[in-house]
Chain A
Amino acid sequence: MRRALSHPSFMIGVVLSAAILAVALISLVWTPYDPGQMRIIMRLKPPGADFWLGTDQFGRDVVSMLMVGTRNALMVGLVAVGLGLTAGLVLGMLAARFQGSFLDEALMRSLDFVFAFPAVLTAILILTFMGPGLANAMIAIGIFNIPVFARQARGAALQVMAQDYVRAARLAGCGTFSILRRHVLPNIAGLMIVQASTQFALAILAEAGLSYLGIGTQPPNPSWGRMLNDAQTFLSRAPLLAIFPGAAIALSVLAFNLLGDGLRDLLDPRLKER
């Protein structure tokens, strides 16, 4: 605990992530204005007392849109990482348990195949098949997260399974699945949590990218990526419109990366001593 408090980047990550989460939660019950409400006469207002960060080309309140966008971004991260983590853990641990078997080879090679394509390209490919939309974007991002988690889970599980305590459990008569659940999973959980927070940041970035391209979150739902796209047209007249969502993306990616780095340092058993 003391170590956590004296780890500056971890603490910055925690505070930022908590703030982002708080904004998302508040947006569920309150935003300054309805984020979808258009007021043509109020369009492209600079920041001021009524509209803290100004309005966009349809007169929508930027603060409200950013807040709801935060909620969307977090939801994408949560679902995509949840999907990738669950599927990756199961596949990775199975591959590790049956290391060298046909199952292992088949799994790892097919994951290599997914890996071989740039992540965003994979997502675009999936979305062209399934059609654009927030839900499909989450699934698409989740799918390209699977190999990342599967590989790490497999490597970590192999390391744990080479330990004598797993041998001892086998000698005690424990079955494969009880060993995976009781010994392997708890011992690789820390590593997976670290990876999850890094992937969370990447998922937010991917959602912004897909929405920017118009195949992610669909109107009227606000999204940081789409706000960025919209702002492009008015870059010379209202540059702030691009800066705010850009800053939101950068800040949240930074927050979750710092969180991940900090967790890695804190959970590293070699550094656990004092």
Chain B
Amino acid sequence: MSVILEAVDLHRHYPLPREGIFARRRHVSAVNGVSFALEEGKVLGIVGESGSGKSTLARLLVGLEAPEKGEVRFLGQRISGLGDAALRPVRHQIQMVFQDPFGSLDPRMRVLDSIGEPLDVAEPGLAPEARRERIIGMLERVGLGEGALTRYPHQFSGGQRQRIAIARALITHPKLLIADEPVSALDVSVQAQILNLLLDLKLEFGLSLVFISHDLGIVRYLSDRVIVMQNGKIVEEGETEALFSAPAEAYTRQLIAAMPKL
């Protein structure tokens, strides 16, 4: 098994608002020395509470933000700290699904153009008919029909919008998908559908997946390996079942104990 994604000692700090003009700027660290490796075709779950730095980590991994220290490697190649232009060749291989399906699609863009946007950048020469075919194929793959093409995001339910967002992320056949709380804004009965869809697509497209969530049950369901984060650091890492059945760290045990069970 080869390593597809590697994080090496990642650090990211945010400046706090200055308390006065002459006060020294203070920083809060969001990600503080995070390292891990993801093997191709596997699912890595990252679990943590608010303020654990898991969403910042997601943005570092896809290159939306640059780390102050450390680096992100994709297939052995450094991708962190590159500009948008230098990143473009690998962009379509790493995609992301966001938490809020009401914020991740441009409200003024038709579904056709939303899904088509990454395609236009990755394959600018694509004929309109072929482009349309590809988009319809992807829409059907995520369980929506051709009728969705000319409609706008607000005409869909949350679960349907998340399907559109997934179609958009997968249209360029990426190798790696980062999902940041992709189901926490959805109704319970729809969550399971989206989780299963992600699993099916992972197999079909040979995706590797980083799955970020605050919900331990969902992370356990989906992941091969799990990382537990707290205050920007990795508290514990391990194979999913081993970690859940015999957590080594007190914080992990506390999280598992607090999780409401039926």
Contacts and interface: CB of A to CB of B under 8 A. Distances in A.
A170 B106 contact: no
Contacts of A175: 84-85
A174 interface: yes
Contacts of A174: 117, 121
Interface in B58-111: 59, 62, 64, 84-85, 87-88, 91-92, 94-96, 98-100, 103-109
B168 interface: yes
A164 B84 contact: no
A165 interface: yes
A183 to B, nearest CB: 5
Bin chain A's interface residue count: 10 to 19
Nearest to A189: B108
A118 interface: no
B235 interface: no
Given A164-B100, A164-B103, A169 B108 contact: no
A173 B118 contact: yes
Given A167-B98, A172-B117, A187 B107 contact: yes
B122 interface: yes
B182 to A, nearest CB: 11
B165 interface: yes
A191 B190 CA distance: 35
Contacts, number: 66
B241 to A, nearest CB: 32
A164 B104 contact: yes
Contacts of A168: 96, 98, 104-105, 165, 168-169
A154 B91 CA distance: 28
A116 interface: no
A199 B21 CA distance: 34
Contact of A167 (B64, B108, B122): B64
A188 B168 CA distance: 24
Contact of A183 (B64, B106, B168): B106
Interface string A141-175: 00000000000000000000001110111111111
A151 B153 CA distance: 29
A186 interface: yes
A165 B121 contact: no
A167 B17 CA distance: 24
A164 B84 CA distance: 17
Nearest to B106: A165
Interface in B126-176: 165, 168-169, 172
Given A164-B100, A176-B84, A171 B106 contact: no
Contacts of A170: 64, 84
A173 B109 CA distance: 17
Contacts of B59: 167
Residue of A170, A172, A186, A187 contacting most chain B CB atoms (<10 Å): A172
Contacts of A183: 106, 109
A242 B154 CA distance: 53
B96 A171 contact: yes
Given A164-B99, A172-B118, 19 more contacts: A163-B104, A164-B104, A165-B105, A167-B64, A168-B98, A168-B105, A168-B168, A168-B169, A170-B64, A171-B91, A171-B118, A172-B91, A172-B92, A172-B168, A173-B87, A173-B118, A182-B109, A183-B109, A187-B107
Q: Which 5 A/B pairs are nearest by Cβ-Cβ distance?
A: A172-B118, A173-B121, A164-B104, A173-B91, A164-B98
Interface of B: 59, 62, 64, 84-85, 87-88, 91-92, 94-96, 98-100, 103-109, 114, 117-118, 121-122, 165, 168-169, 172
